[in-house]
Amino acid sequence: MAWFTYVPHNVFYIFSHFYLEEIVALLIALTVSLSLVTANHVLTDADLFWWTIMGCWASLGCALLYKMGVLCNPRFAKAPEHDEPSVREPDDYSKFGAPAQVERDVILDGTSFRDSAGRRVHLRGINVGGMSKMPIGSNSSQSTIPYGEGATFVGRPFALEEADVHLQRLRAWGLTFLRFIVTWEALEPRAPGEYDTEYIQYLVEIIRKCREYGISVLIDPHQDAWSRWTGGDGAPRWTLEKIGFDPEKLSESGACFLHQSHLADESDPKGFFPKMSWPVNNLFYPAATMWAIFFAGEDYAPKTKIGDENAGAYLRRHYYGA
């Protein structure tokens, strides 16, 4: 950008971000300056005139520096006296929120959603939720990956008894659509064909609650870098074991990056969590192998079988079943 366009652009950008009181201060300074210019015809001492001008602008500059350096500095901000929400929520949600949906029948038309009258539909909602990728009560800062008895997804993204509160808020905020994350592991966690019926019943009840509030739900069968044991989430542990992997040794051998493997020395930032991007786990041996077998096992691993069935067909059958 040429200087004769760059400079005015930046000057305008700076002035556009001034607060009202700063603009008022500038106007006052300009008014004083113009008044002094007029007074210059009366004043005979030119030095006094220019020192007065410099004093006005210096005072304004000090005031702006004080505001930007102290008053607007978060380090000097007063801590809140409570942890309550900053936005007051209405006591009666029925008085607020989104209007009733025109139609519940939504069809896909190319890259658009349309209703039965052919009108384009804009879905306004949120994602629920990131923590649904892991069992209840677990996170990636634990030294081990929770698995087996006691590891359940019931309550993800929120407990059934809390559903009314959350759904009322969403509806009051004008949000009538949910991208609801469900993982294969949550449905079929411990063994092939062994489903978590308690979690399935929880899903049914939550989605019924959503219908009560006129909120549509898209169930997202979520998957990242295959599973929690390969640096992602989605597929259950037994899928790796069926192919012949030992999930406990994948991170130790350097075959994937896990947060859990870098908790030993938190005083060393590089050792605690090395610089990386988690999607690279898709390119490492375990996840890449599982993806290849799942989508094209008959072509790339025709002799890899689970029982008498090709491993890819076996995995897909259980995934579709879940």
Asked if residues 235 and 188 have their Cβ atoms less than 8 Å apart, the reply is: no
State residue 3's pLDDT score. 46
Per-residue pLDDT at 69 = 54
Cα distance between residue 15 and residue 26, in whole Å: 10
Q: Which two structure tokens, joined as six digits, stand for 61?
A: 């500059």
Peptide bond between residue 90 and the one before it cis (omega within 30 degrees of 0): no
pLDDT at 51: 66
pLDDT at residue 134, as a whole number: 87
- Reduced to 3 states (helix: H, G, I; strand: E, B; else coil), residue 256 is coil
Placement of tokens 């052919």 in the chain? 118
Domains defined along the chain, listed by start:
87-222 (3.20.20.80), 231-322 (no CATH)
Q: Tell me the per-residue pLDDT of 173-214, one tens digit each, with 9 for 90 and over.
A: 989 899 999 999 999 999 999 999 999 999 999 999 999 998
Tell me what pLDDT residue 278 has: 76
pLDDT of residue 19: 54
Are 145 and 228 in contact by the 8 Å Cβ rule? The answer is yes
Residues 247-284: tens digit of each pLDDT: 999 988 888 888 777 666 566 666 566 666 778 889 99
pLDDT < 70 regions, the chain: 1-30, 32-52, 55, 57, 60-104, 139-144, 146, 262-276
